[in-house]
Amino acid sequence: MVAAFALFLLVAISFSEARIDPCKLPLDPGFCRAYFPRWGFHQESGECVRFIYGGCGGNKNQFHSKEQCESMCGH
């Protein structure tokens, strides 16, 4: 029973994260210290901007190219 509840909770969290619009999330480089160039949507400027992702943590507001960011965020 505990395993079934844990599985349900995991699925529910996954679905709730999938519905969040990545373009409305803040730019978040994460908490590790790697150097991965990424693009993210900056809400205040309304543009996709380049930032450095540290390799872990962060959120879904990170794209491999400016074109991918603009396609997803509509700008």
How confident is the model at residue 19, as a pLDDT? Answer: 81
Tokens at 69, concatenated? 């960011």
Q: How do residues 28-58 score in pLDDT, each as one tens digit? A: 999 999 999 999 999 999 999 999 999 999 9
More confident residue, 2 or 20: 20
Do residues 2 and 28 touch, judged by C-beta distance below 8 A?
A: no
Instruction: Give the separation between CA 27 and CA 13, rounded to whole angstroms.
Output: 21
Residue 4 pLDDT exceeds 90 = no
Structural domains of the chain sorted by starting position, each given as residue range(s) with its CATH number in brackets: 22-73 (4.10.410.10)
Mean pLDDT of all residues belonging to the chain: 86
Residue 74 pLDDT exceeds 60 = yes
Mean pLDDT across the stretch 9-35?
79
Q: List, in order, residues 6 or more apart from 20 with CB less than 8 Å away.
A: 60
